[in-house]
Structure 1
Amino acid sequence: MKFSCRRTVVSIPNGPSELAVKEAAWGLARYAAISQDNGLVPIVEPEIMLDGEHGIERTFEVAQKVWAETFYYMAQNNVMFEGILLKPSMVTPGAECKDRATPEEVASYTLKLLQRRIPPSVPGIMFLSGGQSEVEATLNLNAMNQAPNPWHVSFSYARALQNTCLKTWGGRPENVAAAQEALLLRAKANSLAQLGKYTSDGEAAEASENMFVKNYSY
């Protein structure tokens, strides 16, 4: 089995406009259809950027629009929902919002969004971390898996798996073993989180380091 992946990003400050949402959704839908036509499993990745001072309600509002349009256009393009994986961002407040959300609040809003917008035929939802700290991303995933849902809710993290590992390594050969151990610890933590069995007891301080980068570009 072969996969393809396409990410589209939507920024909340000063928007997004209806045209921006439609263009983002249409691009993802065409990519998914073309991938399936060529025997690939498309990983559909609509990301709501963390930039901004908005609260979690505003993120929820925008994400509903983006996901509704994305699945509408995928249906228009005859995408088989059973043959995709969804890789979205979680519903969180903007990174500069003064009111932070608990893992339970993030889980509640994110699962409500899934239930309203995602067909249960989608076989897997693999969340991206989007600049959250390693511990924050793991705690939020864990909270989601402590509530019933019809999907396999898992993770497809980059920075939230690699940050401590890369800092531990620092490009020095003598640090390779310690870096591998750091990576293994994060992988085990998120493996437990996708079962709803993770606790943050004993986590190192660097794992709580915020990784948000304003105006981050891929």
Structure 2
Amino acid sequence: MSLNAIAQKLMKPGMGILAADESEPTIAKRFTKIGLNSTLDLRRDYREMLFRSKEAMQNYISGVILTEETLEQSAVDGTAFRAILAEADVIPGIKVDRGAFPMPGEAGEKITEGLDGLRQRLAHYAKLGAGFAKWRGVITINDIAPTRNNIRANAHALARYAILCQEAGIVPIVEPEVVGDGDPGDHSIRKTEDVTGETLEAVFKELRLAGVDLAGMLLKPNMVLAGTKAKDRPSVEEVARRTVAILREHVPAAVPGIAFLSGGQTDEEATAHLNAMNEIGGLPWPLTFSYGRALQNVALVTWAGERTNVPAAQAAFSHRARMNSLAALGQWRTDLDKAA
């Protein structure tokens, strides 16, 4: 299957991507909140619960971003997770960056690492059946950031990652995330809009310079939101309008699709914003979701590490996936969400 064909399948109307690529520290924090220790077996059981949610996986999920641990992991009955996903016609993906680390300087910024040895790792992932990959670049907003140096450095790393993926026959998901929780985190939606535009401009410049085939990649950007501590909270319609405007200005039509991250929003906020953007219409690319916590939150709490809770947890996961599927089609309504 060509890179473009894989990308198109991931962006099938009404389908989205489950981000199940939480690092061990991240999933440990989520488990701690529900009174669980993050053991290998519990992480396996939790992800098996998600992957065996037939309604969600067959109807609303086109791809799953995995970790190295999960890509080679098997369910408790010995069935490889990759086989479970294949049965549901879901494409397995892999997070390949090694995380964001402090960047030298005084601006409190981060640079994502993981390029060393990436060519060899990608060849291994391709043999295991990974159809796509993900790399996250973090752009911080504070009183002195972002700096042009940080934006350029992260954009360059994203481009190097992307061309290596395509060399290995893997579709790169390019994720430049302008985060809203920097110190002091009270910046306006206009500031996020400006920084997101500057970031996307730099990213696509570097992608072109690297020779990346834009028709064989996907973009996973942040939505244009105010800082997490901003007093003025924009409406759903304003977020949608500003996000769509900045994408139209900076994202080439050749890109097969855009799958948003949820970026700390509540479950319903992430759904409402996606729906409002799709209601605008007339866009050159489909807009869908690539959510982690915003898809899993209720399911995780419902599951709570107990096998007897699996059916209820799967129902919660399927409901959230269906709501976001409707949002990807511009057909979501609040009353449908509350009806569950």
What TM-score does the superposition give when structure 2 sets the normalisation length?
0.59
Root mean square deviation of aligned Cα: 1.3
Q: Which residue of 1 aligns with 2:193?
A: 60
Which secondary structure state, in structure 1, belongs to the residue aligned with residue 280 of structure 2? coil
Larger Rg: 2
Distance 1:202 1:194, change over 3 A: closer
Is 1:138 the equivalent of 2:267? Answer: no
Q: Which residue of 1 aligns with 2:245?
A: 112
Unaligned runs of 5+ in 2: 1-5, 7-130
Is 1:89 the equivalent of 2:219? Answer: no
Taking the TM superposition and a 5 Å limit, the aligned residue runs for 1:1-218 are 2-14=131-143, 15-51=145-181, 52-148=185-281, 149-201=283-335, 203=337
Q: Is the 8 A contact 2:323 2:337 kept in 1?
A: no
Aligned partners of 1:133 and 1:6: how far apart in 2? Answer: 23
Aligned partners of 2:314 and 2:133: how far apart in 1? Answer: 27
Offset, 1:203: 3.9
Offset, 1:201: 1.8
Aligned partners of 1:102 and 1:197: how far apart in 2? Answer: 19
Which secondary structure state, in structure 1, belongs to the residue aligned with residue 279 of structure 2? coil
Aligned partners of 1:203 and 1:95: how far apart in 2? Answer: 24
Aligned partners of 1:98 and 1:45: how far apart in 2? Answer: 27
Which secondary structure state, in structure 2, belongs to the residue aligned with residue 196 of structure 1? coil
Offset, 1:192: 0.4
What TM-score does the superposition give when structure 1 sets the normalisation length?
0.91
Offset, 1:202: 5.7
Aligned partners of 2:198 and 2:173: how far apart in 1? Answer: 19
Q: Which residue of 2 aligns with 1:210?
A: none
Deviations 1:6-55 (A, max 9, x none): 11111101301110111011000111111112211101001111211001
The percentage of counterpart residues that share the same residue type is 46
Distance 1:171 1:140, change over 3 A: same
Aligned partners of 1:89 and 1:150: how far apart in 2? Answer: 18
